[in-house]
Every structure is written in structure tokens, then in C-alpha cells.
Amino acid sequence: MIISKTPYRISFFGGGSDYPEWYNTYKGTVISSSINKYLYISFRKLPNFFTHKYRIVWSKIENVKKIDQIQHKVIKQLLKKNNINHGLEIHYDGDLPARSGMGSSSSFVVGCLNSFLKLKNKKINKLNLANNAINFEQNILKENVGSQDQVAATYGGFNRIDFYKNNFKIKKIKSSKNLKILEKNLTLIYTNINRTAHDVAGTYIKKLKNEKKNYIDELICHANEAEKILEKGNIDDFGKLLHSSWILKKKLSKSISNNKIDELYDFAMKNGAYGGKILGAGAGGFLLFYIKNKDKKKLLKKNKKIIEVPFEFSNKGSEIIFNGNK
């Protein structure tokens, strides 16, 4: 048995510029961090005395004899592309809900590839793991997803990631003082709305290079400014910049926000938040706010229906935490 542990991520600035529709022509830049919430995937070879050949445990339990009978799209394509002949049992568990803007789909792909390759006793470095995950989601699954989530899940840490055609570069942000203050002043709130990034992003990614270009240019400027703030600026300005980016991001598509999200956002802003944003492509999932701890307590007390998820930044990317093949 092989078990992998892969982090979720928070994307702060530059989202949209990590789509190949953008960075194949222009440079993309994002600021993001992995967090201490994880997705766990186990792979185990099945002996041939079961009536089923493949057992997939996720929100459903699938016991099937043929790969084509598998309903889980990622697992089905992974096994088809790798000509698996032996039986397999695959389990998936996560600390956060799927389709919530935390990069869960990419964390799942990265974790699956990491576990699967270890099961096959194949070595892979982080660069190849990230690139394989990007290729799998964008070209095999044909999903409307960017490239930052796969990199964040693979490498971990608080990073600036620059995207170029056929390449990306990572710069670790190491301002421990400001990062500690930032971590303390961030709060993660669940909207209780599920959505797929594929559907939301599909409403605007084809427009990135043309009518939405000015917006993406400005979002990249925000990423550059955020890096300066983290290194030697007033960290409260980070919160204000989140607000500016959120106002700008909503201009990419009407699908990014909705009445419930706007109400939650306005409520937080009226009760001490400096700024915030919806995480991921938009339309649901998690809202992130920069709000001082004393104001956060008041906010949560005023609205007890709010679901807050405490978190910390994490430096670890996807890793194998159990290897029964040794």
C-alpha cells in the first residue's frame, strides 16, 4: 500500500494569469501558499480472489471489473493511460470539501500521480510531477483550469510563481515576521456553495488575451505589489490589496460572485475586514478575509451561522507518508 499526503492551497493574487491561454503569450505571476489542510490518497494492489478488480472509495464506493466501468473521471483516465492490468483499491479522504476553491482537484491529481508512480516503483522529481499534473488536467481531462494549483500542491510553501510558455519559476517568500502576522490576521469562511472551476472559468478564459487583458495586467501588478508588502511593507496593506483585487476579479465574469457571496463579503467589510476574496475560480467555496483577530471574534459572534476553518501556512508539498512496498 502507498499513501500520499497533498496540501490544499490559498491563492492570493494573480489568478487568471496562470491559464495557458494567458501565459503562452504573456508572462503570468501569482502569489499563493499551501496550508495545513491535506488530501490523502491510498493505492493498494488487489489480489485476484475478489469478484471485483477495481475498488474506488470516494463519495461513492465503486466495485467494478473493468476500467471503463469506473465513474470517477480522474481515476478512470489515469488507469486507462497507464495500461493497468492488475487489480487496484484506491481510497480518497480530504480535510476540506471538494469544489470549494482550495485547489482540491489539482491536489487530487498530484496526490494520485505521486501515489501511483510510487506504487510502480518509478522515481519522479517535483518538476516532472507538477508538469505531469498540469498536462493531465488540461490536456487529458480537458478541464478549464490554470497551472498554479498543481505547482502549489507539488512544491508547497508560500511562493511567488511566474509562468512562461512551457516553463514556470518559483520564488520562496521568506519574510517570517510579516507571514506570521498575515497568518494570524486571515480567516477562512465556507460559503456552503459547491461549484466546479471548469464551469466558472469557462465563462472568461477565452477572453483573457483580448477584452480582459487590462484586468489581468492589473491583477499581475497586484501580485508584484503583494510581494513587496510581504518583504518589507505594512502587512495591513496586504488586506487592502486583497479588496482591490476582488473588485477587479469580479469584472472578469458575472459568474464569479453571487448574492450570497456579496452579502457575506459586505458583512465582513462592515465588521472590521480590510479586504478579502473568493478563492479559486469563484461562484462558491471559501471566502478569505484579512481581519484583525479582535475584530474576527466580534464578526463570528455577530453571525453564528458563519463556518470558519482555522488554518496555518505549510511548507510541505505532496509527499508519500506510507510505503508498504519497501
Query: To the nearest 5 percent, what fractions of the chain are helix, strand and coil?
Result: 40, 25, 35
Do 153 and 73 sit in the same domain of this protein?
yes
Cα torsion 68, 73, 76, 80: sign: positive
Do 168 and 195 sit in the same domain of this protein?
no
Domain contains 314: no
Counting the structural domains of the chain, the total is: 2
Q: Determine the pLDDT at residue 147.
A: 97
Q: Which backbone phi and psi does 134 adopt, to 5 degrees? A: -60, -50
Q: Determine the pLDDT at residue 282.
A: 66
Higher pLDDT: 263 or 100? It is 263
Q: What is the CATH number of the domain that holds 252?
A: 3.30.70.890
- The mean pLDDT value of the chain amounts to 91
Q: Determine the pLDDT at residue 56.
A: 97
Please list the residues that pair with 38 across neighbouring strands.
Answer: 7
DSSP 35-54: EEEEEEEEEEEEPTTSS-SE
Domain contains 322: no
Do 87 and 111 sit in the same domain of this protein?
yes
What's the pTM? 0.93
Domain contains 321: no
Domain contains 240: yes
Domain contains 270: yes
Q: How far apart are CA 317 and CA 110, in angstroms?
A: 10
pLDDT (tens digit per residue) in 267-293:
999 999 999 998 976 667 899 999 998
Among the candidates 153, 173, 193, a domain finishes at 173
Q: What is the CATH number of the domain that holds 55?
A: 3.30.230.10
Do 215 and 226 sit in the same domain of this protein?
yes
Q: Determine the pLDDT at residue 204.
A: 58
Among the candidates 173, 188, 206, a domain finishes at 173
Do 193 and 65 sit in the same domain of this protein?
no
Cell 472590521 found at: 272
Do 265 and 295 sit in the same domain of this protein?
yes
Domain contains 68: yes
Among the candidates 116, 143, 173, a domain finishes at 173
Domain contains 81: yes
Pairing of strands 87-94, 54-57: parallel
Residue 85 — pLDDT band, cuts 50, 70, 90?
Answer: confident
Do 107 and 143 sit in the same domain of this protein?
yes
Domain that holds residue 127: 2-173
Residue 202 has pLDDT above 70, yes or no: no
Do 94 and 205 sit in the same domain of this protein?
no
Do 18 and 84 sit in the same domain of this protein?
yes
Domain contains 317: no
